[in-house]
A = this chain, B = another copy of it.
Amino acid sequence: MSDKKVSIAKRAEDYSRWYLDVIREADLAEHSAVKGCMIIKPHGYALWENMQAVLDRRFKETGHQNAYFPLFVPKSFLSREASHVEGFAKECAVVTHHRLIDNPDGEGVVVDPKAKLEEEVVVRPTSETIMYDAYSRWVKSWRDLPILINQWANVVRWEMRTRLFLRTTEFLWQEGHTAHATHDEATEEALKMLDVYREFAEDWMAMPVITGSKPDHDKFPGALTTYCIEAMMQDRKALQAGTSHDLGQNFAEAFDVKFTDQDGQEKFVWQTSWGVSTRLIGGLIMAHSDDNGLVLPPKLAPIKVVIVPIGKDEDKTPVMEMVEKVQVALGERLIGIKVDDRENYGPGFKFTEWERKGVPLRIEIGPKDVEKGTVVMVRRDNGEKIFVSVDEVADTAEKILAEIQDGLLERAKQFRSENSRNIDSYEELKEFFAGDGGFAYSHWCGQAACDEKSKEETKASIRCVPFDQKKESGQCVVCGGSSEGRVIFAKAY
């Protein structure tokens, strides 16, 4: 909240620093005193609230209900599904005691050795185990199915290397967890929710994504199949933006989630889980922002239009009258209109601030505008200035906001398309990723070893097996083995 604006690194020069600079200057988040945990500041949290509202509505429209399950998972629950514990035990926060006492040897407090828990609990890294333990009590008959539950929650994965929004020890997310009578129904659910994510990414975040499945060796610990949406960032790296898992009956068997079917037989349920997190904010930043700071798609921007009055004391009254008129006209059509009438900052400072914060449209109103009955509109996405008659402010603002929304999606699609190509030799693959890189559509034989080799030697790995690729015989770009179709190799977050 200091007045001084420091500069933002250029994307082309230092992409990593640029990313952190944008977050700081847009006042979205910061590191906290606890290693790897972030503070989501009001502007960043408002963005998350807007994302939540849209997703929550879509989850409810698709028949899901929200609920809330405990933060803590008994250690023994994690162990029940073998690959699940393998996946999460390495990096989890373990609660071992329930009391602190005055330090007998000096200042402060220490852990009370007498308050040791009988069984340690883990702060949930994800909630399959704690939820399915409950489902095993809730499900008796086919009439209790499907269970369609979503939870908005915080989860913890003790990451060693963190980056704001993209990878933090604690993050916020939603996790859907469903149980069904048949595998077909569960698959349909997993794909339906993947499509909800795709639609959200494209229609709201203006971030094009590729839908597909993860290679078997990279699926969620405990899943049969992991579906994903993958986006390209401006440094041409891939971001896994959301996943939806067909869990099969693995957890049902581990947690004994059984039902009596219409045929009188006792059967295990078929399950899915699916989630997106505050990582989406990282994706949003990297998909659209520029060297001047954050760029937001209007449909998700907490402030869609900022009105900045300009002028000295003697001009103030007529200017403010016009500001109010414009504010009212816009307010009838749009939410997220802000008037920046702060006294102790000049217009130049305000322009920079709102530009950095990604407000899609700025309206400037000064004494000359009052005389002419016009206002100046400035688009955040391309800097274009437009002079608009005051009577047309609302129509024009709506039109421009829609143009910005569409334009961001088109620009991102264009960028992805320019940086994607079919690659058929390992030499070319190495060259591609030694240069600018992007998405390489290449043949793959299905072996984890080839993915690992590529990752080691080119830093690019298989992001997904896209749904939209037709079957096509070819030779694995790494080992030359036979392949039935192309997958996407890319460097990734």
A residues near B, CB below 8 A?
1-2, 30, 32-34, 37-42, 44-46, 48-49, 65-79, 85, 89-101, 107-109, 111, 120-123, 130, 133-134, 138-140, 143-144, 149, 153-154, 156, 158, 170, 172, 344
Contacts and interface: CB of A to CB of B under 8 A. Distances in A.
Contact of A37 (B44, B72, B77, B107): B72
A85 B77 CA distance: 32
Nearest to A71: B170
**3 cross-chain pairs, A with B, having the tightest CB-CB distances, nearest first:** A37-B70, A42-B65, A89-B100
B67 A39 contact: yes
Copy count, this protein chain: 2
Contact of A33 (B37, B111, B122, B130): B130
A409 to B, nearest CB: 28
Contacts of A111: 94, 96, 120
B134 A108 contact: no
Contacts of A153: 154
Contacts of A154: 71, 153-154
Contacts of A65: 42, 45-46
Contacts of A46: 65-66
26 contacts: A32-B69, A32-B133, A33-B74, A34-B130, A37-B70, A39-B134, A40-B67, A41-B67, A48-B68, A49-B66, A71-B170, A75-B109, A85-B100, A89-B100, A89-B101, A92-B99, A92-B100, A93-B98, A94-B95, A94-B97, A94-B111, A95-B123, A96-B96, A98-B158, A100-B122, A143-B344
B1 A75 contact: no
Give the secondary structure class of A's interface: mixed
A34 B97 contact: no
Given A1-B140, A98-B91, A111-B96, A34 B66 contact: no
Contacts of A156: 71
Given A32-B69, A33-B130, A100 B75 contact: yes
B99 A85 contact: no
Given A34-B74, A89-B100, A95-B95, 18 more contacts: A32-B70, A32-B134, A33-B133, A34-B70, A39-B67, A39-B68, A40-B69, A42-B66, A42-B67, A45-B66, A45-B67, A71-B170, A72-B93, A85-B100, A94-B97, A96-B97, A96-B111, A100-B122
B94 A98 contact: yes
A112 to B, nearest CB: 9
A146 to B, nearest CB: 12
Contacts of A109: 75, 78-79, 85, 89
Nearest to A137: B30
A283 B77 CA distance: 33
A380 B134 CA distance: 30
Nearest to A102: B89
A75 B107 CA distance: 12
A177 B153 CA distance: 21
A175 to B, nearest CB: 14
Nearest to A85: B109
A153 B65 CA distance: 19
Nearest to A149: B42
Given A1-B139, A42-B149, A138-B1, A34 B94 contact: no
Nearest to A98: B158
Contacts of A48: 68
Nearest to A66: B45
